[in-house]
Structure 1
Amino acid sequence: MKKIGFIPLRKNSKGIPNKNKRKMVGRPLFTWVLKAAIFSDLDEVFIFTDDKEIIAFVESQYKWTNKVKALLRNTENASDTASTESVLVEFSEQLNNNFDKLCLLQATSPLTTSQDINKTLSKIEKDGYDSSLTVVNTHRFTWSSEGKPINYDVFKRPRRQDFEGLLIENGAVYCTTKETFLTSKNRVSGNIGIVEMPEESLYEIDSETDWTIVEALLINRLKQQKESAKVSHLILDVDGVFTDGTITYTKEGEHTKSFDMRDGMGLEILRELGVEVLVMTSEQSELVAQRMQKLKINEVYLGVKDKYALVKKIILDNNIKLGNIAYVGDDVNDLANMCSVGWSLTPNNATTVVKEHADVVLTMNSGSGAIREACEFILNYNKRFFK
């Protein structure tokens, strides 16, 4: 039973320019639902877009999984007047209808989780529905344009706890069987099951106000899920953490970076006490590779633009939890991880937004002992777990 995820993206957006590529909590917007899809029960996940930059991003950033693929959609079918159903048909035809279950995922619903996707699939696989979709139960009272109450009696206004509410489609996830889709050419049809999502998932990102609200909701959710445990793994950014963030160049390219020797000793002591050290940077740098080899750090991830998804893979590969990770970063591309891990630390000269959300703002600057200070913090913190 082949289960396919489908994320349609358009290059142009009138409401918010470059919306799909714009960073939401430090990550391109579309990667939030993509990450959820990768770690769901879907067998494959397709990004279907007319944006070649997004295709290049997907092809370079998700080599660590064989689930993600990118396909180029027709420009004519990527206009703001094209229906999602027409795009679904085009996508299905490109695949020669090679699927059993088709799951439409909307990039403008970044609060979607792997569990939400799995529940909509389960409605079909276990409960026997032809299709399914996600909804929100809202306790708002609705009115017609003629001034008539629709879902309650104004003379018997119910208390919230006694009010069943109203189910509203939130536009996040739609699943259907191949047979049902090929018959109706619609995202849902036949016997339709519903899956409830939290009320905040009703927000879709169509304006700057929506963007601000959803970003705050995402950050809040990540922080609420934080848990503290013994630190078994330390993940470090490079530029702005190991270094002061400056690079000198010659006409041949990158020339030098400066590293603090005290940081290296702190990491050595940390490893001797059983803490694994990993390095994750968005840059492709031979100098960084050489320095990490000198420091005997074996797990070095270069050129990583979606650090949050990769950390999830590391967690699964090492059978640990987010609470076992300490993370040191300095800029917005570290923000999602720093809001999620057990302990997030940042140099004193980090960007303002990262300092606002870090658990610990170090007294030392990057490239001037910040990592050494972070190591000492972790060593002292882990003492509470010693028997």
Structure 2
Amino acid sequence: MKKIGFIPLRKGSKGIPNKNKRKMVGRPLFTWVLGEAIFSNLDEVVVYTDDESIIEFINKEYHWTNKVKALLRSKESASDTASTEFAMLEFCDTINYDFDVFCLLQATSPFTKKEDINICLDKLNEGYDSALTVVNTHRFLWDKEGGAINYNTQARPRRQDFEGLLIENGAVYTSTKESLISTKNRLGNNVAVVQMTEESLYEIDSESDWIVVEQSLIERQKREKKSKKITHVVLDVDGVFTDGTITYTKEGEHTKSFDMRDGMGLEILRQFDVEVMVMTSENSELVSKRMEKLKIEHVFLGVKDKYTLLKQVIQNKKINLSNVAYIGDDVNDLTNICSVGWSLTPNNATDVVKLNADIVLSKNSGSGAIREACEFIMNYNKRF
């Protein structure tokens, strides 16, 4: 049974410019749901967009999986007046409905997790022809004529005794091929509902919405953190190994400065069976040469979605985020900072990272911060 995921993206956004590409906790907004889709039970995930820069991003970023494809959608399906169903059916026609199950995922629902996707997929094995995600709200609803919709005003229930009302949150929709062909709609005639967390009801239509959602995501990642023995340490480069400055000549990048004491700290750390990995958004030959000198085997260059790649790495190594220490300094490290067992940051890191890291080191980047982090990890691991 072939299960295909579908994420429609439009270039234009009136409320928040470039909303889909804008960094939410340091990652492009659409990568939150895309990352979860990759690790779900979907067989293939298609990002359908009129933005060629997103297609280029996906082709470069997710080369480590054959599960993700990016396709250019027509101008008609990306217009302000085109419905999501129009884009869905246009895409389905181009592949001659070559799937058994269709899963619509909305990029503006960053709280979606792989478990939500999988439950919606499983519902189609229980006799339903479609499923959608909802939130149980305990708000009291009224119509514009002043009538209560979901409770009796003369017997106002306590919250703990109130069943509430299920509200569509627009995150995940699954449908069988037969239902989609028959109804030409994301939902069929026998619909299952799957509850998600209350925070997933937030809609991102304004700058104030963005702030609320971003902070809620940060707090969710932190709530899920657990700390175990550190078996792997992952480091950013610029602003961690270096002081963040780069010397350029007319030929391009020229020099970066590295602290030799940091290299010795990592060498000692490896002697205690802690594996060292490097993950940077830059694609630098200088970095490659330095890491080769330090005998660091796992070096990931040019990474923009660090969180999804980190999840892939730990899955391959059969470890958990709880076993990982992460050292970063800027916003593109933020999701990893909020998610791993222990996060550390140099004293001269950006304010948002210092605010959310577990430990703010006393040393600056390029001036012994990594050596200090290594000593913390070795002392911490003694308890195990």
Interval containing the TM-score (normalised by the shorter chain): over 0.9
What TM-score, normalized to structure 1? 0.99
- CA shift for structure 1 position 193: 0.6
Using the alignment, how far apart are the partners of 1:360 and 1:144 within structure 2?
50
Aligned counterpart, 1:70: 70
Q: Secondary structure at the match of 1:12?
A: coil
Ranges in structure 1 where 5+ consecutive residues have no aligned partner: none
Identical amino acids, percent of aligned pairs: 71
- CA shift for structure 1 position 79: 1.4
Q: Secondary structure at the match of 1:111?
A: coil
Aligned counterpart, 2:169: 170
Aligned counterpart, 1:90: 90
Aligned counterpart, 2:189: 190
Using the alignment, how far apart are the partners of 1:248 and 1:264 within structure 2?
21
Q: How does 1:189-208 map to 2 (within 5 A)?
A: 189-208=188-207
Amino acid at match of 1:304: V
- CA shift for structure 1 position 204: 1.8
Q: How does 1:263-282 map to 2 (within 5 A)?
A: 263-282=262-281
Q: How does 1:225-244 map to 2 (within 5 A)?
A: 225-244=224-243
Using the alignment, how far apart are the partners of 2:202 and 2:335 within structure 1?
19
Q: Secondary structure at the match of 1:75?
A: coil
Aligned counterpart, 1:11: 11
1:251 pairs with 2:247: no
Amino acid at match of 2:374: C
1:207-246 CA deviation, whole Å, 9 max, x = no partner?
A: 1111111111100000000001000000000000000010
- CA shift for structure 1 position 150: 1.1
1:384 pairs with 2:379: no
Amino acid at match of 1:315: I
Q: Secondary structure at the match of 2:171?
A: strand
Using the alignment, how far apart are the partners of 1:177 and 1:189 within structure 2?
8
Q: How does 1:261-340 map to 2 (within 5 A)?
A: 261-340=260-339
Aligned counterpart, 1:61: 61
Aligned counterpart, 1:214: 213
- CA shift for structure 1 position 189: 1.1
- CA shift for structure 1 position 190: 1.7
Using the alignment, how far apart are the partners of 1:164 and 1:2 within structure 2?
37
Using the alignment, how far apart are the partners of 1:249 and 1:164 within structure 2?
63
- CA shift for structure 1 position 93: 1.1
Using the alignment, how far apart are the partners of 1:58 and 1:279 within structure 2?
21
1:36-71 CA deviation, whole Å, 9 max, x = no partner?
A: 100000000000000000000000000111100000
Aligned counterpart, 1:115: 115
Using the alignment, how far apart are the partners of 1:13 and 1:43 within structure 2?
30
Q: Secondary structure at the match of 2:382?
A: helix
Aligned counterpart, 2:31: 31
- CA shift for structure 1 position 76: 1.9
Q: Secondary structure at the match of 1:137?
A: strand
Using the alignment, how far apart are the partners of 2:148 and 2:362 within structure 1?
59
Task: Provide runs of 4+ in structure 1 moved above 3 Å.
Answer: none
Aligned counterpart, 1:43: 43
Using the alignment, how far apart are the partners of 1:13 and 1:96 within structure 2?
30
1:2 pairs with 2:2: yes
Using the alignment, how far apart are the partners of 2:143 and 2:340 within structure 1?
46
> C-alpha root-mean-square deviation of aligned residues, in Å?
0.6
**Number of aligned residue pairs:** 384
1:144-167 CA deviation, whole Å, 9 max, x = no partner?
A: 110011111111001111111101
Aligned counterpart, 1:358: 357
Using the alignment, how far apart are the partners of 1:163 and 1:368 within structure 2?
58
What TM-score, normalized to structure 2? 0.99
Using the alignment, how far apart are the partners of 2:348 and 2:162 within structure 1?
51
Q: Secondary structure at the match of 1:193?
A: strand
